[in-house]
Amino acid sequence: MGVSDEDGHLIVSAYYLREGEPVSKYLDVIHELVHVRQFMEGKPLFDENYEYHNRPTELEAYKLAIAEGRRLGMSDKELFDYLKVDWMDDEEVRKLAKNLGLKVAPKRSLERVR
C-alpha cells in the first residue's frame, strides 16, 4: 500500500487486500491517508534527505497509525510487529520504533511480517 507522488492517489495491491491482516490493512489506510493529506499540502513524500525511519512525513503518518492501534488496545509488541516490512532491515525497524516511542523488543525477537 502506498501513495503516488505524482497525483496523490492510493495504491493498494490486490494480493494485500485479499491476504493482509485486517488490522494491518486498517492501520495502513490511516497511515497512507496521512500521506494523501501531506501530498495535497505539497509536502515531499519521499524526501531523500532523510532515512526512512527519520523522515518527517513517515513519522507523522506512523504516529497516527500507532495512536489508533493503541486506541484499539494493541500492545507495544503488536505495534512493533506492525512496523516490520520487507524494505527495512532489523536495525531500521528498531530505530523507527524508538522514534515513535514504542518499547523496542530484544534483537533476537525480530522476524519479518507482512
Predicted model pTM: 0.87
Is residue 114, in this structure, part of any structural domain at all?
no
For 48, the 3-state DSSP assignment is coil
Question: Does residue 69 belong to any structural domain of this protein?
Answer: yes
Q: So what's the pLDDT on residue 110?
A: 47
Summarised one tens digit per residue, pLDDT across range 16-42 is: 999 999 999 999 999 999 999 999 999
Could you tell me the pLDDT band of residue 86, with boundaries at 50, 70 and 90?
Answer: confident
Q: What percent of the chain has pLDDT over 70?
A: 91
Give a yes or no: residue 22 inside a domain.
yes
Q: Does residue 98 belong to any structural domain of this protein?
A: yes
pLDDT value, residue 96? 96
Listed residue (59, 29, 31, 55) closest to 44, CA to CA: 55
pLDDT by residue (tens digit) across 95-109? 999 999 998 756 654
What's the average model confidence in pLDDT over 47-72?
A: 96
Domain range for 102 is 2-109
Number of domains in the chain: 1
